Amino acid sequence: MRRSEAMSAPFSCSWLHSAALLLLILAEAGCGGFHVVPLKRHDVKVGGFTKHYEGSYFEVAEGGAFSVELLTRPARLKAGYQRVDIVVHDRRDRDVEQGQVSAVARALGTEAQIVPRVLEQHSGIYTLEGVALSGPSDWVLTITIRKDGVEDRVVFRLPGAEGAANKGT
């Protein structure tokens, strides 16, 4: 092996690993294909609660104790992995920090169920990890929030994943 080959080989391998790592980071952050359009901030009051973003899903909990705004990346649900963040407010429209938040997604008309891991980020923002939608069925996402002895839940009905194969036809 010539000296120039010996010197360039480790650099090439390191460069490839760095590039692969960067692509993984960008893909996880939702920037891999630059197809993600960020949601536009536009605060609106809904039933005494603040909805922060245009195009987001928003619901007030069944008992009125909390509101949940569902932010997806990409903004339209697609077949496969979704980055889902939620913003949780209490009845005084304050960020719910250090709450106990759980979620279950069920595909209507099937036995399919997903129980995402919920991670608290900051200022009432939580991330749902492991949300992978498949099939054209609509999904029901139930989010349960517990904070300071109060428990309530929000139910979102989400359209079937865009780009999913319809196996029934």
pLDDT 10s digits, 8-55:
444 344 433 333 333 333 334 332 332 334 678 889 999 899 999 888
Q: Domain for residue 152, yes or no?
A: yes
Percentage of the chain modeled with pLDDT above 70:
67
pLDDT band at 155 (very low <50, low <70, confident <90, very high): very high
Q: Domain for residue 21, yes or no?
A: yes
Per-residue tokens: 35: 């197809």
Q: What is the mean pLDDT of residues 111-137?
A: 86
Give bridge partners of residue 125 from the DSSP assignment. 87, 122
Is residue 26 located within the same domain as residue 87? no
Is residue 56 located within the same domain as residue 2? no
Q: Domain for residue 56, yes or no?
A: yes
Mean pLDDT for all residues in the chain: 75
- pLDDT for 54 equals 87
Kind of pairing between the strands at 139-147 and 150-158? antiparallel
Q: Considering the entire predicted model, what is its pTM?
A: 0.70
Residue 125: domain span: 41-158
Is residue 59 located within the same domain as residue 3? no
H/E run at residue 26: helix 3-28
Count helices and strands in the chain by DSSP H and E runs = 1, 11
Q: Domain for residue 25, yes or no?
A: yes
Q: What is the DSSP letter of 117?
A: E
Q: What is the CATH number of the domain that holds 97?
A: 2.60.40.1930
Is residue 87 located within the same domain as residue 4? no
